Chain A
Amino acid sequence: MQTLPTDEVRQIMWRYAERYDLQMLVQSTRSVARGVVARLVADGERNTHEWTAAKDEMLKAYDEAGVTAMMSKPQYGGYLDGPKNFVMALAAFELAWVDAGAATCCLAAGLALEPIIERGTPEQVEEYLTRSVPPQPGEDRKIARGAFCLTEPLPYVGVDTGIMCGKVRVANWEDGQEPMLQVDKRGRFITNMDYASFVVAAVESDDDRIKGTCMVILEEDDEGVYDRGAVTHKLVHQLSSTRDPIFHMTVPASRIVGGYTIVDGVIVPNHNHGKVLEAVFARTRVPVGVMTAAKLLSAVEPIIRYQRGRFRGGEGAPGTPRYDLGLQMKEDVLHRLVDVWATGEAATSLGLAAARHFDEFEELDKTRDELYAAAGARSVREVLKLRKQTEKLALEYLELLAEPEEERDQERLAELKSNRLVEYMVGESLSNILSPATKLWNTGQGANMMREAVSLMGGYGITEDCPGFLPQKWMDSQLEATYEGPESVQRRQLIVTMTSELFLTQFQGWITELRRLASDRPGTGACALGSAMELWLWTYRHLQEAKDADGKPLYRDKRQGATFPMADALAWLLACRCQVLDCLELEKKGAENPVLADALPGYVQFFTDLCHVQTAHAAGEVGRICADLVYGYNRHPSWEPTCEACAQAGEIDCLEGLIPGISVGTRLTSDVVESDGSHANKAGPCPRFAGIEGFISRRNKLDGCLTGSRLAKDRAGNVLAQVMIPEALDYPS
């Protein structure tokens, strides 16, 4: 690889080489990020929590570059048609490359619109999407900017989602007139609040005439108090506005997101707040994960530049290794940077794969209720029954898919494939995994690796003028791990959703797929990844049945010590798989691009090596986690006189006459308690592992699968020492 990966390479890997509209969005967003946003950071605008005139310029730049309008459809003044998940992820990637606070401003505006887009009435969708795009020539209006106000328990957290601080009551309801609602809500840590002209807030009924919960739209010009509240003194993301607002407002009932129905004199919201949130958070967590991934990849170039220049200025002249390579003469810095890069690749691959999945799944997801209704299921019970029946069909479909093509019952496969509910449930099972896994792993492991990236800059890394804003990015990543549900929330969701047999069947299919890939492309680490997946799957099945030393079951909701690590391990595996698939996509499609013709083999080899490095890292993590769980809940035997695992010295010494050498041999190979009660200096007799031979063999195999991974790291490191980098970073430091 002679140059850093270009746009052509990324467009192929991340599957938007044919999407010219997205390529334009990337370029325009990049120009804002590396222009206005970078200048703000370099000028120290992060040193204040207040929203300043300079920060406001960033919003104007978004408007002018088309970033603001990306959420709107063309009929509402936007320019991008279709689902917006991948769009948002790419925009977040480009902005977070420079500053994640800037990306958050952009995403938070989308977050405010999402409830309306997902569950709003047609009138609400038209109203807010139209107002959220910049004014067209000849129009004289202020652009509507939104904020999303929740500060409530989230789905899957397991806490009582009904407890909310936001209340809604009937303020006034005259016969034949639309009811007016009194909304009282205090928000906390609400993004965009400095300039939001409307807020989408979650509230709960405090009135017999309103049923349940809902989300409601508040406008700054509505009657009452629209107090933007105190500024949040964040340590990070200072280019986004965060405040703790207070609302006491009267709004018409038509502001209930999704509308309402009057039933026996009671206002019944068409969608409760949980249903709205479910639709929103299923998707919006993904771009947050992509933000952290972008930081890691953005760190590569500044680090290489630093490493090469580190030893200049002293002895050495141009052309000497010391001058040309600087710190890159040392293997350690190269290997550590390879780790940072590999993690960034895996995280980006996972995040963008999730975003693409949501784009593909969106239409089906939105017609879910219609599909249920068409199948005759209207009540909750009927829906559950229908889902159970459909799950069987979906499993059959997946099993047929896993069979060799020539052996499949094609007629049956086609029949099942045409079943939209089957398709929906298969897609849903993936959505339920990909979103929390992206958020969990990208931000959590991403933050760890950002620390590594900063450490590679030495003392420079903890200075304000560190190029690439790495220290700020390191700190910012911690907030990304918190946004939209901290890590425990994501783990909580994963341990519920990864039990789906539909997911596990697909997971099994991926193992087969990786074995086949490994056969064609042995250097990618696909084989080791398949082995790691097998180990994870064995451990998961084991934990379902296993009990601890006290006889208590392990895989239970409250035993987060047993379940959460499995969620972490799964996320490692998913990220690696997406990375391998992206690498193969580059190899396959890159050959069709004439620009890449000569350079393609170098890129493919480098990304293949990164896959191998990352797979080894993931395999190590998965092996460690699984071994810890499989062994860790058994009680270690102790040196008790009655211990059945021990041989008694008297007994074996007696046998010495019959079997010469047994006395010494036993002492060498097993645990012996001497006649005076003494024993070897260790915690106790070595435990025995009856019943987990399957685990042992898989673990051994996995360790062996790491063969060659360090050679791959050496190769990748050598590339880093030779790759061309630009004369200067393309944004200020």
Chain B
Amino acid sequence: MTTGFHIVVCGSLVPDPLQTLQPMMGASGTPELKSEMMLPSVLDPWAGHALYEAANLAKNTPGSKVWLVSVGPKARLQQLMMTLAQKVPFELVALDGSASGFIDAGSVANVMSDAIEGLTDLDRSRLLLFGGCASASRDAGATMQMVGERLSIQDQFLSVDQLTAQADGSLKILERIEGGQYLESVCEGPPVMVGWATGTLPEPKNNPQVGMMNMRTIMPALQKAQPAAVSADGVVFANVEVPQQRRDTRIVKDVSADEIARELVEWIKS
């Protein structure tokens, strides 16, 4: 492909999983996490995989461009960008709204698709719509499908681990299915919606030069971020609580893959 892809990645921030997450009923009757605004946040891991795959694809396909469309409190998005912007080049489209996990996925999909439609230099015929197959906060697992539907993208793939742009312009896609198997599909080409699982790429290393370049566009984008009307209207939350099993979860950072594998084998054998 000579003209390259226009890759739009949908993804926002979630509370750092190392933090203590304590759900509680907010004053407005909508659930929220205790001290949610003050909890350090990270890029939603699944969206992160989508972004890194997008950047890699763009890097290897001349003429491509990557946008990151995010709904979240813009001051929090700004903090997130201090790390994210150093990893891969992209143009940010910021929408100032709640990133709470207790927001209706449909309303998020609405504002995201509107924002994507508003991208004046976006060529829809070259569009690859990327996002996480689910979200660590808006975990309905349905947001990306709805965004795709609203943008009239009929070719949709979920739980994707690999996307290969082939010489004839078609895309070969591996989707996870049960039993550790992959479903291999080939579609003619864009537009296509891809909900990424973990992908195949590691987290890119920091590159402050990329960061400085990105920040030239990110800061103005944040400053002019429009309020996003996302809400949970019509949704009733009967109860919210931390999964009990999570309390037994052991949180250890930077354990090697070998060590994790060994523990899994021990657990299975037990």
A residues contacting B by CB (< 8 A) are 2-3, 6-8, 20-21, 23-28, 31, 35, 38-39, 64-66, 69, 79, 593-599, 724-728, 730-732
Most central of A2, A79, A593 by chain B CB within 10 Å = A79
Given A8-B79, A23-B79, A64-B207, 5 other A-B residues pairs in contact with their CB atoms under 8 A:
A24-B83, A27-B82, A595-B76, A599-B35, A726-B18
The answer to whether A24 touches B79, judged by C-beta atoms less than 8 angstroms apart, is: no
Per-residue 0/1 for B248-270: is the Cβ within 8 Å of any A Cβ (1 yes, 0 no)? 00011110000000000000000
A-B pairs with beta carbons under 8 Å apart, 20 shown: A3-B39, A6-B40, A8-B75, A23-B79, A24-B85, A27-B82, A27-B83, A28-B83, A28-B206, A35-B254, A38-B254, A64-B205, A66-B208, A69-B208, A79-B208, A598-B37, A599-B37, A599-B38, A727-B251, A731-B253
- Chain B, range 171-213, C-beta contacts under 8 Å to A: 205-209, 211-212
- Whether a CB of chain A sits under 8 angstroms from the CB of B219 is yes
Residue of A nearest to B256 (CB): A39
Name A7's contact: one of B40, B206, B212 (CB within 8 Å): B40
Name A595's contact: one of B75, B205, B206 (CB within 8 Å): B75
Interface residue range, chain B: 20 to 34
**Chain A residues near B123 (CB-CB < 8 A):** none
Residue of B nearest to A1 (CB): B38
The answer to whether B75 touches A21, judged by C-beta atoms less than 8 angstroms apart, is: no
The answer to whether A732 touches B75, judged by C-beta atoms less than 8 angstroms apart, is: no
Residue of B nearest to A725 (CB): B20
Q: Known contacts being A2-B38, A21-B212, is A66 close to B86, with CB within 8 Å?
A: yes
- Whether a CB of chain A sits under 8 angstroms from the CB of B16 is yes
**Chain B residues near A20 (CB-CB < 8 A):** 82, 215, 219
The answer to whether A3 touches B35, judged by C-beta atoms less than 8 angstroms apart, is: yes
Complex formed: what's the CA distance from A7 to B75 in Å? 11
**Chain A residues near B254 (CB-CB < 8 A):** 35, 38-39, 731-732
Q: Is the interface of B mostly helix, strand, loop or mixed?
A: loop
Residue of B nearest to A35 (CB): B254
- Whether a CB of chain A sits under 8 angstroms from the CB of B34 is yes
**Chain A residues near B16 (CB-CB < 8 A):** 726, 730
Across the A-B interface, how many residue pairs have beta carbons closer than 8 Å? Answer: 104
Q: Known contacts being A6-B38, A598-B37, A599-B35, is A728 close to B251, with CB within 8 Å?
A: yes
- Whether a CB of chain A sits under 8 angstroms from the CB of B73 is yes
- Whether a CB of chain A sits under 8 angstroms from the CB of B2 is no
**Chain A residues near B83 (CB-CB < 8 A):** 24, 27-28, 31
Complex formed: what's the CA distance from A35 to B255 in Å? 11
- Whether a CB of chain A sits under 8 angstroms from the CB of B19 is yes
The answer to whether B20 touches A66, judged by C-beta atoms less than 8 angstroms apart, is: no
A79 to chain B minimum Cβ distance, whole angstroms, is 5
Most central of A31, A598, A724 by chain B CB within 10 Å = A724
A70 to chain B minimum Cβ distance, whole angstroms, is 8
Complex formed: what's the CA distance from A46 to B123 in Å? 55
Complex formed: what's the CA distance from A678 to B179 in Å? 101
The answer to whether A24 touches B208, judged by C-beta atoms less than 8 angstroms apart, is: yes
Name B18's contact: one of A596, A598, A730 (CB within 8 Å): A730
Q: Known contacts being A24-B86, A599-B38, is A728 close to B206, with CB within 8 Å?
A: no
The 3 closest A-B pairs by CB, nearest first: A66-B208, A728-B251, A595-B75
- Chain B, range 48-91, C-beta contacts under 8 Å to A: 73-76, 79, 82-83, 85-86
The answer to whether B20 touches A595, judged by C-beta atoms less than 8 angstroms apart, is: no
**Chain B residues near A39 (CB-CB < 8 A):** 254
The answer to whether B82 touches A24, judged by C-beta atoms less than 8 angstroms apart, is: yes
Complex formed: what's the CA distance from A38 to B251 in Å? 16
Complex formed: what's the CA distance from A483 to B20 in Å? 39
B84 to chain A minimum Cβ distance, whole angstroms, is 9
Residue of B nearest to A32 (CB): B206
Name A25's contact: one of B40, B75, B207, B208 (CB within 8 Å): B208
Per-residue 0/1 for B9-36: is the Cβ within 8 Å of any A Cβ (1 yes, 0 no)? 0000000101110100000000000110
Complex formed: what's the CA distance from A703 to B82 in Å? 46
**Chain B residues near A593 (CB-CB < 8 A):** 75
B262 to chain A minimum Cβ distance, whole angstroms, is 17
